[in-house]
A and B are shown apart, each in its own frame.
Chain A
Amino acid sequence: GAGVSQSPSNKVTEKGKDVELRCDPISGHTALYWYRQRLGQGLEFLIYFQGNSAPDKSGLPSDRFSAERTGESVSTLTIQRTQQEDSAVYLCASSSLATRNTEAFFGQGTRLTVV
């Protein structure tokens, strides 16, 4: 596609439910990142994929959070037993190669509200 696509754009869920967030990176981009942005705050790194492996999961805040990626395409971020503190915008980004000198492109994000 033309850019990084995320769905849904907005999600309201009840505390304790599981949610899945989806990211479609730019075609051909091997590197994919998930970030979280709480209201009025900066971006927190969650996880990095190189292809379908995740060599860096250091930012996942708890074992309720997990992510997977199919080949070099779609990624899903799953949050189990959601809590109110999980409310945030979840942003996905992709880069063309796993080299450090390539530009990162972001999607529009999924705004998650846990009530």
Chain B
Amino acid sequence: KQEVTQIPAALSVPEGENLVLNCSFTDSAIYNLQWFRQDPGKGLTSLLLIQSSQREQTSGRLNASLDKSSGRSTLYIAASQPGDSATYLCAVRPGVDSSYKLIFGSGTRLLVRP
């Protein structure tokens, strides 16, 4: 059974700092991995999608990497801003699951202090 873990559960950093959020998964047989952002009381906003054949994806100040063999992904946020404060969720789409559903980690709550 695929399980997704995110560490740390919460992170507080001063504005301008570069930071890394971690995501690990137990079964390397995945089709893709997706990072989301969730603001309090809101839905999920897709940030980056990494296919299983890819090593990384970049969007603006965000860079996500994927090491499928070791079951790890990282989300790197450069020059953090207070507006980056949110919960970040990673989710994997198992390769052997015909329902295509996403399996989520429990998230990292990020606070960027001005």
Query: Is A105's CB under 8 angstroms from B31's CB?
Result: no
Q: Could you mark each residue 44-60 of chain A with 1 if its beta carbon is under 8 Å from any beta carbon of chain B, else 0?
A: 01001000000110110
Partner of A109, one of B42, B45, B99, B100: B42
Q: A100 with B93: in contact, given A42-B104, A91-B44 (CB under 8 Å)?
A: yes
Tally B residues with Cβ within 8 Å of A. 26
Q: How far is the CA of A56 from the CA of B107 in the complex (A)?
A: 24
Query: Is A42's CB under 8 angstroms from B107's CB?
Result: yes
Offer 23 A-B interface pairs, CB within 8 angstroms, sorted by A.
A6-B43, A33-B102, A42-B89, A42-B104, A43-B89, A43-B91, A43-B102, A45-B103, A48-B101, A55-B98, A55-B99, A56-B101, A91-B43, A100-B31, A100-B93, A101-B31, A101-B32, A103-B34, A104-B102, A106-B45, A106-B46, A109-B43, A111-B41
| A101 cross-chain contacts in B, Cβ below 8 A | 31-32, 51
Identify the interface centre among A42, A91, A93, A98: most chain B CB within 10 Å of its CB.
A42
Total contacts A-B at CB 8 Å: 63
Q: How far is the CA of A95 from the CA of B95 in the complex (A)?
A: 16
Query: Is B43's CB under 8 angstroms from A108's CB?
Result: yes
Partner of B100, one of A6, A41, A98, A108: A98
| B91 cross-chain contacts in A, Cβ below 8 A | 43, 104
| B112 cross-chain contacts in A, Cβ below 8 A | none
Is residue A25 within 8 Å, beta carbon to beta carbon, of the partner chain?
no
Residue in chain A with minimal CB distance to B49: A103
Task: Please provide the 9 A-B residue pairs with the shortest distance between their CB atoms, ordered closest to farther.
Answer: A56-B99, A100-B31, A106-B44, A108-B43, A42-B106, A43-B104, A106-B43, A48-B99, A103-B49
| A100 cross-chain contacts in B, Cβ below 8 A | 31-32, 93, 95, 100
Is residue B76 within 8 Å, beta carbon to beta carbon, of the partner chain?
no
Closest CB-CB distance, B75 to chain A, in whole Å?
16
Q: How far is the CA of A45 from the CA of B104 in the complex (A)?
A: 9
Within 8 A of A (CB), among B45-61: 45-46, 49, 51
